[in-house]
Amino acid sequence: MGSHLAESPTAGGRTHLDHPLQNTNDTNRDRAFESLRRQFPNWQAVRDADPGAIVAAIRTAGLANQKGPRIQQVLKDISAERGSLDLGFLQDLPLEEARAWLMKFKGVGPKTAAIVLLFSLSRPAFPVDTHIYRVTGRIGLRPEKMTVEEAHFLLEKIFPPEAYYAAHLNIIRLGREICAARKPACQAALCADFAIMQRILRLNQVYNEIVFPILFLKKGGEMDAVQPS
């Protein structure tokens, strides 16, 4: 356990708080974390603090009345089970065991578990946040209807483990700076090729789902009717 707050309760955890363009939620979350770091020297102090002080420190993040007690409870549960807040032992467990250990705590889902594994323990896990979920759906890296939980498993299969760290940060950056939730800047130079490819994929989809079935029906439904591209 380090003397200052790291991203998760381990020594040496890295933070990723310095993206140049952030939406309001990102900014408020980062402000809350910075406020927590300023006011509490380490995670033991967060665990043992007056609950009201934690809620006040993270108020800008929103839902502080829920998040504050939840953070403290997870810290208490880890301490009760392990005798300390050092998560270094997770480095020696098989990945899925380490993930399952983290996810048994109330409030820790696949994203939080993957963030701790990747950023604090340098384990090969791929966190899917709101930006990654949106962008991977738009560019067709995953089926649109897939849940965010399912997206974690799929994207971990798509990217090679050594690319998780860079892919995570770069897709978030793409989502924040160009492929924004409300107004994606598809005209941006970076996206010109993407946009063309997406149009081709859409045309192909229209052909397969509408044009081909019509041609097939016109030909009397014979099996050797025009084949899709």
CB-wise, 11 or 139, nearer to ligand SF4? 139
Give yes or no for residue 1 binding ligand SF4 (CB under 6 A): no
Mark whether 67 is an active-site residue: no
Q: How far is the CB of 140 from ligand SF4 (least distance, A)?
A: 9
CB-wise, 195 or 211, nearer to ligand SF4? 195
Give yes or no for residue 184 binding ligand SF4 (CB under 6 A): yes
- For residue 22, give the 3-state DSSP assignment: coil
Give yes or no for residue 178 binding ligand SF4 (CB under 6 A): yes
Give yes or no for residue 181 binding ligand SF4 (CB under 6 A): no
Residue with tokens 């955890």: 13
Q: How far is the CB of 207 from ligand SF4 (least distance, A)?
A: 21
Residue with tokens 């301490």: 79
Of the candidates 152, 150, 86, the one whose C-alpha atom is nearest the C-alpha of residue 120 is 86
Q: Enumerate binding residues for ligand SF4 (CB under 6 A).
A: 138-139, 178-179, 184-186, 191, 194-195, 198
Active-site amino acid positions? 111
